[in-house]
Structures are given as structure tokens and as C-alpha cells.
Amino acid sequence: MSRSSRWMAGASTALTRPAVTHRFLAGVEGVRHLPSDTPFVLVANHSSFADHLVLDAVLDALRDTPTSYLTKAEAFVHPVRRRWTQGMGGIPVDRDRPGKDLLAAIGGVFADRGALVVYPEGTRGPGWPLLPFKDGAFRFAVRAGVPVIPVALWGAQHVLPKGAWLPRRAQVRVVFGPALPDDTALSRPQRVTALSEAARRALESLVDTARTSPGPQRARQAARELVHRAETVVETMLSRTDHLPTARRMQQARLLLALARRTDPDSFTVPDTPLAADARTLSARLTGLRALNAPAPLRPAMLRGVRRTAEAVLRAHPDHLMARYLLGRWHLLMPRALGGCRRQALEHLRHAARLGAHDTRYPMAYAEALMAGGRDGEAAAYLHSILAAPAPDARTADRRRRAEAHYKRLAGVGDPATPRT
């Protein structure tokens, strides 16, 4: 991809992604069905040029790897439009005679663990009913052995109708469905036919869902999935093996929280709801992480908001695990002159260690706080529980190594297998 293509796409998405997220999206549902970094074919109904822009904004928040779009060859004729389309991930396709270059390009997308977006209707339709399907998307999926995931968009046809150049005020709802069943015992042509028929049934159902305003339960479930996805992004960012820059992860998490608020605004209107509490705490956590990398003079002001948020959440939800953990860390980090209190830190971290005993980060935080206060005997018991827990990932294994070093120092022995009293 040329530098000019990247520049044009970057300038475009700097405008379109925030506009879609904060102005045109009514909600995003079913994100649990979408993998973050494995290849698949995404089949969508197609009623507007705005479909591309909406999916680009949503997938930018949900995906770690690039997204490509099959695009009609005519879009690559004009030099300026060609560069923009290439920058946006467009792959030219001759709908009458797809050739080897197309197959090679699609193979490259899947090799990079990317998603390939295909509109099986082949052209923009009225929105409803769906036009007849072409089978290209399903042939590509069967050939590569990747799943097919359906997604419905409703409202994009009102944002940017055919022939319109400027967007109109309307709301778009996006609904992802589960991967389509693929019977590998069938022959390749039979699999393609079966996937095409399953995709049509799935998209008809998903479009019907997208057309109807969700009730409170449906909206809350969709928003909860988005908040959970944001939490997963933060945990990935803090792992020892993440391949994306921290700034990108922070942006991704904040985008997902914004999508959650758009999807279920009622739950966020009242700050004491469990969903709002989770989102507020995660936002405070992001602020705290950003503050740790900020210049020292700016940190106290940034961290004050973390404390206020955690205390507000705990007033409504005294057993909120992350709020307890954040407030304990806050009191450890801040000097006494700025409000830090070791006694309160220990209280909050003890509560977090009890609530989050299944996750070694919370007992470790409490054990290290106990050691800092000279309470080595109490710390040893928590360190031993960390050593007895499984370490399935690099971050947990690193925590176990720290616990082992602490325990050996406290016990004065080389084998931490048996705790001393």
C-alpha cells in the first residue's frame, strides 16, 4: 500500500470513525460472536455506502488485525478514489471474472489473521427485502477453511441513501450473529450452497432484529458484552505478550466503552447500576494507567478522579472487586499529604483479596502491602496461596516468581513448598 493511500485513509477515518461512534450508531449487539485476532469472512446486508464506514468504525474497536473489503473493480479506476479505497482495505474484484490475483489477495488477508467483509447481495439493495445472494463469499471461506460470520446493519440506508453525498441524521444498529454451521463432510459445492442458504436465513433474522428497538434486557446484554470486551482488552494490554502498542489498546478500550453507552444509554443514565459501575471503574482504571506514564507533576490531579470514581462505586456496591483494588492501590501510591493512607490501603486490598481469591493479582497486591507494613507473617500465607495456584499465562507466571522470591526471603529457606508459622 502506498504512503498516499495510508494518508488518505488515515485522514478519512479520523473524521468518520468518531462520527459513526458518537453520532450515527444506535447500538452494537452480539460482539461475543466476533473473534479479535483470527481470520473469518464477515457477510453483511448492503443498503448504503455508509455500510463500509459503519463497519470500519465498529471493527476498529473490536478487532486487533486488519479488515479488508471486496470492492467492485470500478472503484479502482479513478486514481484518487483508488488510493482511498486501497487505504481503507479495499480489494478489487471483477464480479464477472474473478482471477488468481483476487485469490492471492484474499489468501494474504487470511494469512495475516484478518477479516474479509463481503456483501453477498453484490450491490446495494433497498435494505429490505434482501436481494439474491452471490456465492463468492462462501467459496472463499470453504477454500480457506475459515468461518463465516453474519452481520446485519439497519439504518445506514437512511444515513446515506443512494445518490446522496452528505450524511443525513439517522441511527444505525449493528447486530452480529454466530458463525454459520459448516458441515465439512459435504463436498465443496454442497458446503458452498449450504453456507449460502444458512447465511440468507441468518441475515434475514438479524436484519429483523436490527430493525426493532431493543427492550431493556436485550440492550443491557449487548452493552454488558461490550464492557466485558473492553475489560479483556485492558487485561491483554497488561499481559507480557501483547503485540499492540499501549496507546492503541487504551483507544480500543475507550471506544468499546463508548459503544456500550450508545447501545444501552438507560443503564448509564443512573450511575449506580451494576453495568454503569463496571464501566466507570474500567474508565477510572484506564485513567490510572495513563497517569502512571504521565509526568510526575500531573499525576496527582489525574489520580484524584480515580479515587472519586472508586469511592462512588463502592458506596453503591461495597463488594465491587475492581473498585476495591483501585482504591487500595491509590492509597498505597499517594503520599499522606495528598490523602494516601496505608491503613485504608490494607483494608481495601484485604477486601479485594477475599473477593478475588481466584485471581492471584489480588492476593499478591495485599501480600506486598502487608510486607511493606512489616506484617510478614500474614503476608506469607497469601504468598503461599499464590504459589499453590495455577499459572496459565506469562503474567501469572511472573506473579508466581515474585511470590516465590518474597516467600523465600521471608521464610529464610530455599523451598517455599511448606509455609512456616
Q: Is the pLDDT of residue 50 over 80?
A: yes
120-164 pLDDT per residue, tens: 998 888 888 999 999 999 999 999 999 999 999 999 999 998 888
> Which letter does DSSP use for residue 120 in this model?
T
**Greatest Cα-to-Cα distance within the chain, rounded to the nearest angstrom:** 79
Nearest to 36 by CA among 66, 68, 69: 66
Judge whether 179 lies within some domain.
yes
What is the residue type of 10? G
**Kind and range of the H or E element at 314?**
helix 299-316
Quickly state the pLDDT bin for 421 (edges 50, 70, 90): very low
Q: Are strands 172-176 and 148-154 parallel, antiparallel or unpaired?
A: antiparallel
229-250 pLDDT per residue, tens: 999 999 999 987 889 999 999 9
- For the domain that residue 71 is a member of, what is the CATH number? 3.40.1130.10
Structural domain including 144 reads 3-213
Sign (positive or negative) of CA dihedral 38, 154, 231, 355: negative
Judge whether 253 lies within some domain.
no
Q: Is the pLDDT of residue 365 over 50?
A: yes
Q: What is the mean pLDDT of residues 213-221?
A: 95
Q: Coil, strand, or helix at residue 53? A: helix
Three cell numbers written together for 263: 447501545
103-128 in b/e burial notation, b at 16+ Cβ within 10 A? eeebeebbeebbbbbbbbbbebbebe
Three cell numbers written together for 391: 499459572
| Length, in residues, of the chain | 421
Judge whether 124 lies within some domain.
yes
Rounded to 5°, the CA angle 395-360-404 comes to 75
Task: Count structural domains, the chain.
Answer: 1
Nearest to 53 by CA among 21, 6, 101, 26: 21
Confidence (pLDDT) at 159: 94
Judge whether 36 lies within some domain.
yes
Confidence (pLDDT) at 184: 93
Distance CA 159, CA 166 (A): 9
Lowest pLDDT segment from 85-94, 315-324, 377-386, 400-409? 85-94
57-114 pLDDT per residue, tens: 999 999 999 999 998 877 777 878 888 888 888 888 876 666 788 889 999 999 999 9
Average pLDDT, the chain: 91
Q: Coil, strand, or helix at residue 90? A: strand
- 85 versus 337: the higher-pLDDT residue is 337
Judge whether 247 lies within some domain.
no
Judge whether 369 lies within some domain.
no
Distance CA 396, CA 167 (A): 48
Q: What is the mean pLDDT of residues 394-415?
A: 84
Q: What is the mean pLDDT of residues 309-320?
A: 97
| Dihedral class, residue 5 (left if φ above 0, else alpha if ψ from -120 to 50, else beta) | alpha
User: In the Cβ-directed half-sphere of 323, how many Cα atoms lie within 13 Å?
Assistant: 21
In sequence order, the 6+-apart residues with CB closer than 8 A to the CB of 70 are 90, 91, 93, 116, 117, 118, 119, 136, 137
Residue owning grid cell 431493543 = 214
Q: Is residue 58 within 8 Å of residue 299, measured between CB atoms?
A: no
Judge whether 263 lies within some domain.
no
> Which letter does DSSP use for residue 20 in this model?
I
Judge whether 163 lies within some domain.
yes
Confidence (pLDDT) at 8: 87
Quickly state the pLDDT bin for 418 (edges 50, 70, 90): very low
Q: How far apart are the first and last CA of the chain?
A: 64
Confidence (pLDDT) at 98: 64
